[in-house]
Amino acid sequence: MGIGADRPLIVINFKNYREAQGDGALRIAKAAEDVSRRTGVLVAVAPPQVTLMQVVRSVSIPVFAQHVDDVEPSSTTGFVPPESVSASGASGSIINHSEHRLPEDTVGRLVRRMRDLGLTSLVCASTPDEAARLARFSPDYIAIEPPELIGTGRAVSRVAPEVISRGVEAVHAVSPDVTVLCGAGIASGDDVRASIELGAMGVLVSSAIVRAPDPGAKVEEFARHASGVRGR
């Protein structure tokens, strides 16, 4: 179940950066919440797993887990079953991030399990072809992120715009209801605007916001550029 597929979405993946540990995760999440409230742009956050419930209880914007495992709630030490994400109160989870890849059949099972739990699935893909294959599982979102650009500040919307436009077309040819996001190297508001103009409905971003001197100001820059943009 999407959290706002009809309007631009900014998803901030905190990863495990030092800036997002402990109270840092709360500060960034609350800054994102403030920007979302003031601009009307939908902003979601994915804090480190150990702070997930704390962040959920502290903000009103959607909160995602960074990863989920295809295991049952049982003797599975260190794994994250979908039921744990649901019990935390989170809105959903990122699945198959390039830093935590999963087999495609596992992705499909997780999307189905999360759907049954009423959770939102945000599946990552490295290429338009992979995005099209994963679209057959009908996740709520697919974020296309060429791994070689992640964390570089070289936005895919600038250096490889055809990846976004081809990815959107490939996904919608398989499953028109899947919302496509853009990721990898997103560093500025202009990158966000370009991504939406190329057909994406938002961005999955990390270091540009989490490691910024003023994360709130960076979220606002992104939100202002996303607001009012009409995609293709």
Residue from 33, 67, 130, 145 carrying the catalytic annotation: 145
Count of C-beta atoms within a 10 Å radius of residue 127: 16
3-class secondary-structure state, position 230: coil
Angle at 47 between CA 94 and CA 219, to 5 degrees: 95
Report the alpha-carbon distance of residue 87 to residue 146 in Å, rounded.
Answer: 32
Q: Is residue 15 part of an annotated ligand binding site?
A: yes
150 is in an annotated binding site: yes
145 as an active site residue: the answer is yes
Cross-strand pairs, 12: 45, 205
225 flagged as catalytic: no
Could you give the count of Cα atoms lying within 13 Å of 231 in the half-sphere of its Cβ?
23
C-beta atoms surrounding 69 within 10 Å: 18
Residues written for the chain? 232
Q: What share of the chain is helix, strand, coil (3-state, %, to 5)?
A: 45, 15, 40
Catalytic residue among 97, 130, 220, 225: 97
Q: For residues 63 and 56, is the Cβ–Cβ distance under 8 A? A: yes
Both tokens assigned to 125: 């893909």
H-run or E-run covering 30: helix 23-39
Give the residue from 80, 87, 156 showing the smallest Cα distance to 125: 156
Instruction: Tell me the one-letter amino acid at 54.
Output: Q
Question: Is residue 185 part of an annotated ligand binding site?
Answer: yes
Residue set of the binding site for substrate: 13-15, 150, 185
Q: Which positions are catalytic?
A: 97, 145
